[in-house]
Amino acid sequence: MSGVANLFDCSVVFIVALIMSLFGAFHLQELFDRTSEMTLMKQKPSGEMEIITKKGTQVKTLKVSKAQAAGKGQRLGIAYRLEDGSMVYVPEER
C-alpha cells in the first residue's frame, strides 16, 4: 500500500512540474504579475474573435463577430517592408 502512496506523490510532483514548464514555454508568468499589461486574442472556427485584456489586476473580455468588424472604408495608401526589416508607408495621391 505504501508503494501506491509513493506513486501518487510522484504523479502530483510531475503534474506541478508540467504546469510550470508550460507557463514558462508560453511566457504566461505575466498573468500573475500585478503590474503587467497584456492582450490575448482568440478566434473560434465560426469566425468570432475574443479579445482578452489584462491591466494590473483587472481582466476584461470583448467578443467581436465578423459582422461587427466588417464595414466600408477607404484605401489610404500602401505599406512596404524593406530588406532591412523597416516599413515605409506611401500615401496615395488623389
The pLDDT value given to residue 85? 86
CA distance 68 to 62: 12
- The per-residue pLDDT for range 38-71, each reduced to its tens digit, is 888 888 888 788 989 999 889 999 988 777 767 7
Tell whether 94 is covered by a domain.
Answer: no
Residues 4-35, buried b or exposed e (16+ Cβ, 10 A)? eeeeeeeeeeeeeeeeeeeeeeeeeeeeeeee
Task: Dig out the grid coordinates for 50 from the structure.
Answer: 475574443
Domain with 59, as residue range(s), is 33-71
- The per-residue pLDDT for range 23-37, each reduced to its tens digit, is 888 878 887 888 888
Both 22 and 37 in one domain: the answer is no
Both 40 and 50 in one domain: the answer is yes
Tell whether 13 is covered by a domain.
Answer: yes
Tell whether 82 is covered by a domain.
Answer: no
SS3 of the chain: the string is: CHHHHHHHHHHHHHHHHHHHHHHHHCCCHHHHCCCCEEEEEEECCCCCEEEEEEECCEEEEEEECHHHHCCCCCCCEEEEECCCCCEEEEECCC
Both 22 and 45 in one domain: the answer is no
Specify the pTM.
0.49
Tell whether 18 is covered by a domain.
Answer: yes
Both 38 and 66 in one domain: the answer is yes
Both 40 and 15 in one domain: the answer is no
Both 23 and 45 in one domain: the answer is no
